[in-house]
Structure 1
Amino acid sequence: MTELWNWKIDDRMTVAEVSTALADVLGLAVVSMGAADPARLPLDAVVCDVWLRPGEFPTSVDCYGIPDGVPEVGVIAAFARRLGRPCLFVDDTLDPGRHLLVGSDGTIRPVHLDVTEDDDGDVLSNLRLCSTHSPRCRAWSQCHQSQWAPDSVVPALAAA
């Protein structure tokens, strides 16, 4: 249980909405970071921190204590479908502006966003698909070295 998942949601969501959806998807207890008493947590509880920021994806979600072997891709696809909201998570390029967009139907595709910092952290804007039609993606090797190549789309059934 060492993984940390960090996601963003394209709408303002409450801690209760996020925790309920995550608990439904995982089938585990989900406890808000602010309410987490380490001495009283169930052994299989997931701790979830939710906060709001400006930008196109204003709700940030950090999940701690994910059980080993639980695939993030499948969980976030089910989570986005459960919320009915697109979500973002980081891809494998380590580029802060490249993410994976999970549609409200669970479909996953690589995207780029502009990242600026303010007092609340990173602010994401200007969402655009990672595509070979873009000169930047065509010329940038990190897009092509990713397991999520430009123009790739993983349908909802394959993702969950």
Structure 2
Amino acid sequence: MTELWNWRVDGDVDPAEIYQALADVLGRPVLALGAYRPIRPIGGTVLCDVWRRPGDFPVSVDCYGPPGLPEGSAVAAFAHRLGRSCLLPDDTLDGGRYLLVDPDGTMRPVHFDVRDTDEGEVLSGRRLCTRVSPRCRGWSPCHQSRWAPDQVVPALAAA
């Protein structure tokens, strides 16, 4: 089974800049998904799909077939390279809970309001995942996560 990484990037970033940052971080060629020609596969190439949507963290990045390195370390290096915060899905079934990765490499759980639109899923209203938040107390899936409420971890230590 091929691994898939789904990240979101804060702000408007050109796809070419994303492909270059990924290639630098992964040490492999990165091709836009639409540019891939299955007749001539290039060994070790990572395919990437980038698109924009409204709301917070408007740029979505999907990586198909990334190398076998920890996703947390890769996204931390990617965020640092771009100088932008990134989101990746966490390990709960809460569709509005993500891991926020800052350009300095720190990771922390956050929540968003999620709204489906014709242009895709829109995130807004970012909130830190904390023990004092009513949504994060007691029975919440937040407490079943590897990323507990209020947890802030350097990305390299989290990998």
Q: Distance in 2 between matches of 1:57 and 1:124?
A: 7
Q: Distance in 1 between matches of 2:52 and 2:9?
A: 10
Are the equivalent residues in 1 in contact too, given 2:105–2:155 (CA < 8 A)?
yes
* Residue number in structure 1 paired with 2:106: 107
Q: State the AA in 2 paired with 1:74.
A: S
Deviates more, 1:18-27 or 1:36-45: 36-45
Q: Distance in 2 between matches of 1:128 and 1:30?
A: 33
Instruction: Give structure 1 regions of 4+ aligned residues with deviation exceeding 3 angstroms.
Output: none
TM-score, L = length of structure 2: 0.95
Deviates more, 1:148-157 or 1:18-27: 148-157
Q: Give the superposition deviation at 1:140.
A: 3.8
* Residue number in structure 1 paired with 2:51: 51
SS in 2 for 1:158: helix
Q: Give the superposition deviation at 1:65.
A: 1.1
Aligned length: 159
* Residue number in structure 2 paired with 1:130: 129
Are the equivalent residues in 2 in contact too, given 1:107–1:159 (CA < 8 A)?
no
- State the Cα deviation string for residues 32-73 of structure 1 (Å, max 9, x = none): 011111222311000000000000110000000112x31111
- State the Cα deviation string for residues 101-141 of structure 1 (Å, max 9, x = none): 00111100000000001111100000110001212111343
Q: Distance in 2 between matches of 1:32 and 1:21?
A: 13
The unaligned stretches of length 5 or more in structure 2 are none
Q: Distance in 1 between matches of 2:156 and 2:116?
A: 35
Cα distance change, pair 112–140 in 1 and its aligned pair in 2 (3 A): farther
Q: Distance in 1 between matches of 2:139 and 2:115?
A: 21
SS in 1 for 2:100: strand
SS in 1 for 2:136: helix
RMSD, matched Cα: 1.3
SS in 2 for 1:122: strand
Q: Distance in 1 between matches of 2:147 and 2:17?
A: 29
1:66 aligned to 2:76? no
Are the equivalent residues in 1 in contact too, given 2:73–2:156 (CA < 8 A)?
no
The unaligned stretches of length 5 or more in structure 1 are none
Q: Distance in 2 between matches of 1:27 and 1:159?
A: 21
Identity of aligned residues (%): 64
